[in-house]
Amino acid sequence: MGYQLDFGKVLRGEYLDLILQGVQTTMVLFVLSWVFGLVLAIILTVVRAIEFRPTQLLVAAFVEYHRNVPVLIQLFVWYFGFAVVLPDGVNDYLNDIGAEIGYAIVALALNKAAYMSEDFRSGMRSIHPAQMEAARSMGLTYLGAMRWVILPQAWRLALPALLGQTLILFKGTSLAAGIGVAELSYQARYIEEQSFRIFEAYGIATAIYMLISFAIMWLSAVLSDRFRLRVK
């Protein structure tokens, strides 16, 4: 078949730089989406826990949209859809500072927030209602009881699921290539097109994704064990 494998060609010079830039962009996407997603998830969880129907329905609608529409479409909605409703001046400014990665972080963070808030919610459901009652009976406010008693248990109970979401998010960053974010998958594709080293380019991207995924899985196992909530 005449195709000679040559990893060296892809692993030096300009191509190596592109791969390293790609890894860096992937990590920026991953970390920022994770942080924003987690913060929003906590807010969604608390809002949904408050017995007020309209806001509960709003959170439910948010969750269902993000769980039932493909992530790629969510990215398109932000990058192509949202941009057209903004004034030109704003779009020009956003494009100058890097609209693609900004929209990608927003889309991935919102998506992850929906899933993580559901994980928190199922964590909270497995906490006995008497815990809230005990917290309130000592004089804590509702939010105080949430902050000091319910959420610290909820996140421990939700931790294994949250870590699973973390791994899914890490792999999901590759979808941002679909709106032109120059992360690792995008760079692999670019290198493949430029060098015709198709197997090598994707092979190296695969190896890097696996390496980081395994690191996340290992960390997940350690954390899940360390923070396991033991209830009698």
Partner 1 sequence: MIEFQGVSKWYGTLKVLKDISATVDKGTTIVLCGPSGSGKSTLVRTVNRLEPIQEGTITVAGADIYAKSVNVNTLRMGIGFVFQQFNLFPHLTVIDNVMLPLRRLHHQSRKEALPTALLMLERVGLADKAHALPADISGGQSQRVAIARSLILNPEVLILDEPTSALDPEMVSEVLKLLRQLSGEGMTMMCVTHEMGFAREVADRIWFLKNGELTFDAKPLVFFSPEAHPDVRGFLSAIQKNH
Residues engaged in binding partner 1 (CB under 8 A): 128, 130-131, 133-141, 144, 148-149, 152-153, 156, 229-232
Q: Give the end-to-end CA distance of the chain in Å, rounded to a whole number.
A: 64
Q: How far apart are CA 217 and CA 26, in angstroms?
A: 17
Q: Taking CA 190 as the corner, what is the angle to CA 187 and CA 193, rounded to the nearest 5 degrees?
A: 150
From the CB of 65, what's the least distance to partner 1, in Å?
33
Q: Among residues 28 and 161, whose Cβ is nearest to partner 1?
A: 161
From the CB of 126, what's the least distance to partner 1, in Å?
12
- How many residues are given for the chain? 232
Task: Give which of 56, 54, 72, 52 is closest to 64, Cα–Cα.
Answer: 56
Q: Among residues 52 and 148, whose Cβ is nearest to partner 1?
A: 148
From the CB of 224, what's the least distance to partner 1, in Å?
15
Q: How far apart are CA 201 and CA 128, in angstroms?
A: 52
From the CB of 150, what's the least distance to partner 1, in Å?
10
Q: Among residues 156 and 171, whose Cβ is nearest to partner 1?
A: 156
User: Which DSSP letter does residue 228 get?
Assistant: P
From the CB of 157, what's the least distance to partner 1, in Å?
10
Q: Taking CA 84 as the corner, what is the angle to CA 78 and CA 86, rounded to the nearest 5 degrees?
A: 90
Q: Among residues 42 and 212, whose Cβ is nearest to partner 1?
A: 42
Task: Give which of 73, 77, 46 is closest to 59, Cα–Cα.
Answer: 46
Q: Among residues 136 and 171, whose Cβ is nearest to partner 1?
A: 136
Query: DSSP of 112-148, one letter per residue?
Result: HHHHHHHHHHHHHHTS-HHHHHHHHHTT--HHHHIII
Residue with tokens 């949202």: 82
Q: Among residues 6 and 133, whose Cβ is nearest to partner 1?
A: 133
From the CB of 128, what's the least distance to partner 1, in Å?
8
